[in-house]
């Protein structure tokens, strides 16, 4: 699986439950979330840069409920 199609966690905004698991599509600059959300990811880290989080969000309050349920079904909720 290429880096462009690998699912990862991306921040859509800093609101609660707005971090989604999805695939980044370079052609559009958007993430296609497992829950159906489409968004341009917020830069994260320091210094802030675009891209996925290095792992699962540490705060469960950040995670989209639908994306989390999908990860549970796949047995990857703790990754």
Provide the whole-model pTM: 0.84
DSSP-H helix ranges across the chain = 65-73
41-67 pLDDT tens trace: 999 988 998 889 988 888 989 999 999
Instruction: Concatenate the DSSP letters of all residues of 9-29 into one string.
Output: EEES-SSTT-EEEEEEETTTT
4-44 pLDDT tens trace: 468 899 999 999 999 999 999 999 999 999 999 999 999 99
């Amino acid at each position: 699986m290429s880096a462009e199609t690998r699912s990862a966690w991306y921040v859509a905004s800093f609101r609660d439950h707005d971090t989604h698991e999805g695939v980044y599509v370079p052609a559009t600059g958007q993430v296609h979330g497992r829950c159906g959300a489409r968004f341009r990811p917020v830069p994260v880290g320091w210094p802030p840069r675009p891209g996925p989080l290095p792992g699962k969000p540490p705060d469960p309050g950040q995670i989209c409920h639908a994306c989390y349920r999908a990860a549970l079904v796949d047995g990857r909720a703790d990754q």
